[in-house]
Structure 1
Amino acid sequence: MMSFHGHNSAMHSDELLAQVAALPALPGVYRYFDAADQLLYVGKARDLKKRVSSYFQKTHGGTRIGHMVASIARMETTVVRSEAEALLLENNLIKALGPKYNILFRDDKSYPYLKITGAGPTELSTSRQTAPSDFPRVAYYRGAVDKKHRYFGPFPNAWAVKESILLLQKVFRLRTCEDTVFMNRTRPCLLYQIKRCSGPCVHYIAPAEYAEDVRNAERFLDGETQLVLKGLEQRMMAHAEKLEFEQAAELRNQMGALSRVLHQQSVDTGSDKDADILAVKVQGGRACVNLAMVRGGRHLGDRPYFPSHVDDAVALQAAEAESDAQAAVPVEVQVLEAFIAQHYTGVPVPPLLITSEAVSKDLIAALSADSGQRVTSQHQPREQRRQWLEMAEKNAALQLARLLAEEGSQQARTRALVEALDLAPDALEQFRIECFDISHTAGEATQASCVVFQQHRMQSSEYRRFKIEGITGGDDYAAMRQVLTRRYAKFSPQAIAQAAAEAAEATEAGPQAEAPPPPSKARMPDLVLVDGGRGQVSMAREVFQNLGLDIGLIVGVEKGEGRKVGLEELVFADGRPKAQLARDSAALMLVAQIRDEAHRFAITGMRAARAKVRTGGSRIEEIPGIGPKRRARLLQRFGGVRGVAAASVDDIATVEGVSRELAERIYKALH
């Protein structure tokens, strides 16, 4: 048996040291645990006996590795057949178990896909009665894929999917509406009028022609753009020969739209249909890996990943390299290899990886074996690939600089939530969240409250309360249906189309006609939070589907025990599995902050409603800028609502916290 000397061996049990001494000189994976059975570190070795022994033979002092070794209480090992197998097992364990001293990429997000529903009509009916399944719909999708529909992706973010859907609307005019909306149309919606849809809901296009557009859209997404253009040209010439000039002109316009898209996208017509570009940047103890995706020859955008435990893992790997008498691997390479090994576990891997650092050939070989297809990597590319890599490197540096500047700030919370839910706002400053809460007193005086978060803070001037009427007392689901319908009906495609039509009619009628109302500054939020679980989310989903709005905006906050922060789960309306953010997550902190503010606002509204019943009514709390504290001060100073109503503007302005402007607002509201 090998003997152990030095400071570290005295800290460990004879049983552990005997286990180390009995290890075989074979490739394998080892795992260290502390006294509380928390996983500290996962490592791989060509020679288990030599590598693990090195930890216990040396005195590491007060270094990071010394702290870890002193904490080891027990160990587990697994012998494998090859180094490649050890590499895959090591990173599967790191990804699944999250040890404290390994470079760890937390990827709790599922990738979005573009979905084309169904497979179109099986029999072309001559009847005018058509079903939604005769006209496949293009949609944003997350979750498990099935064989009933066609899926394209994965895409790096939601923005990339929505941009691709917009392209398909412009060029192929495929429908995006829900089946419930499709079945109840009697005239085409605004999308038809702006040439983003061919109007299948009102029989403006035959199923066979629509199916041809779907096939071309699928070819375009697969990167077969030249084939699509050639097919459109042949169809156009055939119509022209039959003197069907209107149909020929439509196809000519479609070709023009597709050509413009191809030009804007700078599509590479070479062999690079599918590739991932990976760039790494390390600074200030933090690291960023920027992943850009090319699919079907189109650059779809990128996505940053920020690993944890970088400093600890680098220190440990430097010690391991020293014990093996080898040069330490640069930190950038360690981070990039950790990302590749962890990220492509359970995620489709493209045939080409373009990397900012040269990565291990063994890693790429293991990736090929695991995925069942040949994967190659390129470190110093040329031409188009070089441009892609330079862009990814620049974005990695920008994302890391932003992270270092924002950490600990409210902006960091906003960005953390955007990244955790994989949203893609146009500008983080304008990212808008609306959160709803239902409250009532013993089933009576039901109210719904809406609070607004924008520009990294709560916007109290935009909070709203809704008096819920015409429902059974205590029916929170019916209350949620009513408030969401009232809040968002004006944003439905039908309402927008109607408003556009009314504005056009008013313009045609001349100056004598009543002028249309000025355009509203209101807009749909980027996220709708519902204080409740699956039931409330299902109700919100139903409302959004009926209005023709994006159900992907809806997220439910399912309460933890006693509303404790850290026990909440997020429930999604678009079919994604529930998500539980880490207790120390900045994203969770923001969700809890907004949820609690909605609850607070709802309770103050409920108390005000009770006070109204008792006092015969008061409009003070309905004045923007008057919260519970200012209301209490006003009532206390003037002896009640009537006293406030009898006071002058100058008198009201003497109350603490009431400016001259607010005093004038109060006076006008009460007179």
Structure 2
Amino acid sequence: MPLITMSVFDYKAELAKIPAEPGVYRYFSEEGEIIYVGKAKSLKNRVSSYFVKNHADRKTRRLVSQIRRIEFTIVHTEFDALLLENQLIKRYQPRFNILLRDDKTYPFIKIFNEPFPRVESTRRVDKKTGTYFGPFANPRAMYNLLDMFRELYSLRTCNLNLSPEHIKADKYKVCMEYHLKRCKGPCVGLQPLEEYEQEVAQIQQILKGQMSIPQQYFKQNMVQAAEKLEFEKAHDWKIKLELLQNFQTKSTVVNPKIGNVDVIVIASDEEAAYVNYLKIVNGYIMAAQTLEVKKKLEETDEEILALVLFEMRTTYESEAKEIITNIEITTDFKAEITIPKIGDKRSLLEMALKNVHYFRKEKAERQLIEASATTNRRDRVLIKLKADLQLKTLPRHIECFDNSNIQGTNPVSAMVCFKEGRASKKDYRHFSIKTVVGPNDFASMYEVVTRRYTRLLEENAPLPDLIVIDGGKGQLSAACDALKAVGLYGKVPIVGIAKRLEEIYFPEDTLPLYIDKKSESLRLIQQIRDEAHRFAITYHRDKRSRNAIVSELENVDGIGKKTAANLLKEFKSVKAIREADAEKIAAFVGKDKAQKIKEYFAQQQGE
């Protein structure tokens, strides 16, 4: 390895010895510490630039002043230089290099290398012991996947060594999981290894975004069971197929024709760069991560993006043949670099940029909030929410809508109101659905939003600063149509929050915004959404109970639905009606009907 010892006052002769070849260079301090590692297409040109330029950047001038020794390694290609540079930076962590550090350890899904493999989450990676999928920047999405796998397949959860010898020796007994029909008992030879491995292979297909093979498997088994007139088994297979299809429809999907691509974008200022990476597999967003890279010297966006791209493709094991980005970069990856102008690929690029700008604004807003010690918590959260959702005014008045029905019965909706970040229960409203027949969330949402804001306009009452819809794109679209019908669309901000991944949807945006799961503003939206859900469920239960009581009173000869409802309204409960004397009941329904009611309850008690 060539070695140059040099003086900072006499470097020209030494620089002449450095070749114009691709490679990696290392700068050492007087103490022998590696203080910087870099790569270059031409070592001579790159290293010389540090000494012949008059650097405006103070940190670069400081680096040059501390250099006392240079080492370099010649490699065949720039890509080889990138690999070596990455390894040396991780090994030595030079203080003048940007480091892709993250204090979060994201979890993986691990499929163990063992007979009857376990499928579990882990934060420790040892590729000798299993196959890993991830990392998952959103752990909730990972746990949703694991829950779905346990619904679809009979996976073991024990740590037993299920070698053929142990099973043959009858070493184990089935556990409670077997009796609950969540495991088929491979420990005692009740499930063939081939069948179990087939299910694990399908899990790997799902984790790779390839849904067609598992779907075809469930569909074939459903049809075969039906042909054999085993309708209960056919129904079980149908439930599993619907579960997988439901998961697929709730996933963030772009055009499947795009195939496998990586999306990586960057925005920067003097102090730091902000990068968002998306891994797209068969039209599904399989991974998403946004990170901040603090600048140490005069790093260009191109240099930073190339470094982050290498790290992300390595971490997420991407082999995509196309990389979508927002700036021109050169890499030795066997992939095409594109900057799309139109179409679905442009939409992907814009979504990545939206996440970068959100991340950047979030940081600036957080710094502003932290700097203002006088700002109380409620104002801080509202300021954060205003920045996250790019609102024009502080959302001091927020209204949230949710629908509730069970098996299509007694459909209701509810609206909760938060003012200054707190629940304003006097402003809560219930809605019994009047114009919709059967369980139709979209039509129900259209009806209640129309009714709510038609009334506010008629009463000239204050409008909210923000409307939140509990649901995804469908419910949000129905609410937007209602606002258009009453002339408020575009005048009051409105968003939807989808339950599975807590995505935030904006009107007319096909792709969602992912807010940091630890963000106070997202927690406020979740709190409002959960309160709307609780309020709707409570009303729904009350209505079902009330209808059941009304139905019971209708069993009395001569008592109709209207009379039963009036009695219940007056006496509050069936128990109170049963215990009331005939004269008190007669005051509302007459002596004849009162007598029949008392006789009915007396007969019920006698039975």
TM-score after normalising by structure 1 = 0.46
User: Which has the higher Rg, Structure 1 or Structure 2?
Assistant: 2
Query: Which gives a bigger RCO, structure 1 or 2 (Cα 8 Å, sep 6+)?
Result: 1
